[in-house]
Chains A and B, each alone.
Chain A
Amino acid sequence: MEKRAKKPTRQGLMPAVLTFLGVTVLIVIIALINAPTMGGPRVMASVSTYLEEVKATGIPFMIAVAVLAIILGFFFAREVYKVWPIPKKRKEFLTGYAFLAPYLIVTFLFTIGVIFFAFYISFTDYDIFTRPTWTGLSNYAEAFAGFTDSTKRDFLQSLYNVFWYSLIVLPIQTFLAILLANLLNQPIKFRRFFRTIFYAPSVTSSVVITLIFVWLYLKGGYINYFLQTFLGWFTVDFAGVNWLGDPRGLIQLIVGAFGGEIPSTKWYLRGPSIAWMSIMVQNIFTTIPTFMIMFLAALQDINPALYESASIEGASKSQIFWRITLPLLRPIILLVTVLGTIGTLQVFDQVYLATGGGPLKTSLTPVFLIYQEALGVTGPINMGYASALAFILAMIIFALTFIQRRVLTEGTERY
């Protein structure tokens, strides 16, 4: 008995050691590629020049990763050691990780590795061509400098803009998507055909849609022409608006209508600008169909017996909608709001193409700002600062997702 128990021990030892070495070396290589060094042709000329550079700037980073590599290596080695004596388990273990290898390697290189790198450089002053210099929390402090110095308000203003964006866009698009889904869920012929037609605008690229909308929004474009004609019927004179170039804010316009005035130093009181709201309209147009499909699928999943028994009980149509349909749609409403918020905070294409963040930064978004800072579009390259902004943004997204989940699931318990 004792001999049999000992034999597998020896069997598993060599593979376990090899696994440990393999996993550790692989992670260290991935970490080396992601080490916080400068790039550029001189450093990247050969492996030795690069390693030289890692030695100069990346030692703390490498130590941190090495600890992680050893822990992971140990975990794998222990499992290999355990499963090795049993052929069936060994086979499943090896096949499993062989099949996962492409995913794991690419993810560790392009997701986990780069996040470690980005987190490190968010505490440094970094442009790809010089060595990163440690600056502590100054990048994070800089992001919120707008509270005291209104010339540095870019990031705050971008958050302010997306705040308005989600406040206006999310309810409207969710409401309209539910409405459309309900319309399609009625007993109609050609449901598939209409569903396909409604969804079509969502499959084309945002670049195409944005360019078409930029054209429609021109001063001499269709939208102004349509409004002019339409308002003309009510004998209202409409001069036309430069939709994507008008910085006047919603609240500013309302206050202005009563003869008030908001000074430019109080930019945060002006509300979303006309340019920004024009982009919102376009985005509502393109996201409704996707959410509509999600709602439609959920509606078709609802047990028809529920509706039947409700109508037998004498419930009216609106009662059925508010008391049965809507509560059952809660999970999808949650998903749509979460997806909507994440999408909203990361608007880029439309801003890049339609307004470039202007006018007066009223359509600046966090991701557009990150892009500008990282590539040095408006000033020097600030990759460290851009990374800090990205992490703040990620924290905001996590927090919002968490809160939405809490709020919307708490509501479900009532039913």
Chain B
Amino acid sequence: MKEKTLKRPITSRGEKHTISKIHKKIKVALRYLLLIIIGFIMFLPFIMAFFGTVKTDKEITAFPPKFFPEVWHWENWARVWNTDLGQGGTFPRWLFNTAFLAITVAIAQAIFGSMAAYAFARLKFAGRKLVFNFMLATMMIPGAVTLIPAYVLVSKLKLINTYWSLILPGIVGAGSIFMLTQFFKSIPDELEEAAIIDGASHMQIFRMVIIPLARPAILTVLILQFQGMWNAFLTPLLYLNSPDKYVLNVALSIFQQQYKTQWNLTLVGAMFNAIPVLILFFIFSRYYIEGVAYAGIKG
């Protein structure tokens, strides 16, 4: 068999075929190379910042800058972790504040969001469409408009410098309600009808039928809201003003002002901020990406 094929004269057609095959292979290889290069560029700032964290104070300001650190000074990380800005302002504390706020807001948004979504998607009552359209209209309002009056309101309620100032306005969100409503609508009616025949109340249907089926959507809301609160900057900057109440983002901006030239330390702080979300992202990347894509298609 092998001999036969070898003996067969190579036709011009076959030659062309192999050339186009090689051509295709090169094309595929180039495509992967391009993907890898872009991926590398996307990560380059993080990689450089990461190397920066283990450089000495001198190395970090040296020109020309070197890509790799000469010696890996991991003690920088300990230095930052143990830094005390006074009045209880330390990185462990800020990490706790940020995580606490992000988790609380995410859970509240998931609970109250799915309640509202259930009402919009599964119940028929007068004014439902009106309230839903009202909600869509509020989504158009730019955050800049409510910024100052919300600050006045929070200060009147004496909530400045308390966690409540961020939790209370954050427990519901039109965005998460909208997303959950769309998902709840896609759940088939039959299950619900069966439950109604069995004499289940709306509360029971909500808890036993809808919630278990909507787990992926609820998880997406949890993750997106967690990330949103973790990355929030302007509202925490306005509302929380004592060092023991700061969130990481605000603390980081103040830290940078204090340690102006010691970029290695500021970058360690930035890593404390970035690593938890990045870990979470790599675990749940599917939900992140679906959430964003979903906002794109349905929005």
Contacts and interface: CB of A to CB of B under 8 A. Distances in A.
Given A39-B156, A102-B116, A297-B297, A92 B202 contact: yes
B292 A201 contact: no
Nearest to B169: A110
Contact of B296 (A96, A206, A212, A294): A294
A114 B153 contact: yes
B131 A121 contact: no
A44 interface: yes
A33 B153 contact: yes
Nearest to B202: A95
| Residue from A75, A205, A366 with most neighbouring chain B CB atoms (10 Å) | A205
B10 interface: no
Contacts of B230: 205
Chain B CB count within 10 A is highest, among A82, A89, A211, for: A211
B208 interface: no
A92 B123 contact: yes
Given A197-B42, A205-B231, A225 B65 contact: yes
B153 A203 contact: no
Interface stretch (A134-142, A215-223, A258-266, A315-323): A215-223
Majority SS of interface residues in chain A?
Answer: helix
B14 interface: no
B102 to A, nearest CB: 11
A39 B13 CA distance: 87
A211 B296 contact: no
Contact of B234 (A96, A104, A342, A348): A348
Contacts of B62: 220
B263 to A, nearest CB: 5
B43 to A, nearest CB: 7
Contacts of B119: 95-97, 99-100
A330 interface: no
Contact of B156 (A44, A76, A296): A44
Contact of A370 (B115, B144, B273): B144
B21 interface: no
B65 A117 contact: no
B33 to A, nearest CB: 12
Interface in A42-89: 44, 75-76, 79, 82-83, 89
B274 interface: yes
A367 B206 CA distance: 41
Contacts of B292: 199, 290, 293-294
A296 B296 CA distance: 10
Interface stretch (B46-54, B86-94, B186-194): B46-54
Nearest to A203: B281
Contacts of B46: 201, 204, 212
B23 to A, nearest CB: 15
B123 A96 contact: yes
Contacts of B52: 215
Contact of B63 (A206, A225, A295, A348): A225
A102 B112 contact: yes
The residue among A76, A188, A212, A398 with the most chain B CB atoms within 10 A of its own CB is: A212
A383 B147 CA distance: 11
Contacts of A107: 135, 138, 172, 174
Contacts of B125: 79, 83, 89, 92-93, 96-97
B227 interface: yes
Nearest to B196: A88
A201 B38 CA distance: 12
A401 interface: yes
B179 interface: no
Contacts of B133: none
Nearest to B40: A197
Contacts of A113: 153
24 contacts: A33-B157, A34-B149, A39-B155, A95-B119, A95-B203, A99-B119, A102-B115, A103-B115, A110-B150, A111-B141, A114-B153, A117-B153, A180-B38, A183-B31, A197-B39, A199-B288, A201-B42, A205-B233, A212-B46, A212-B48, A298-B297, A393-B145, A394-B145, A398-B140
Given A111-B146, A118-B146, 9 more contacts: A109-B153, A115-B145, A115-B149, A128-B152, A196-B289, A203-B278, A205-B277, A207-B270, A346-B143
Question: 6 nearest interchain CB pairs?
Answer: A294-B296, A297-B293, A114-B149, A205-B231, A220-B63, A118-B149
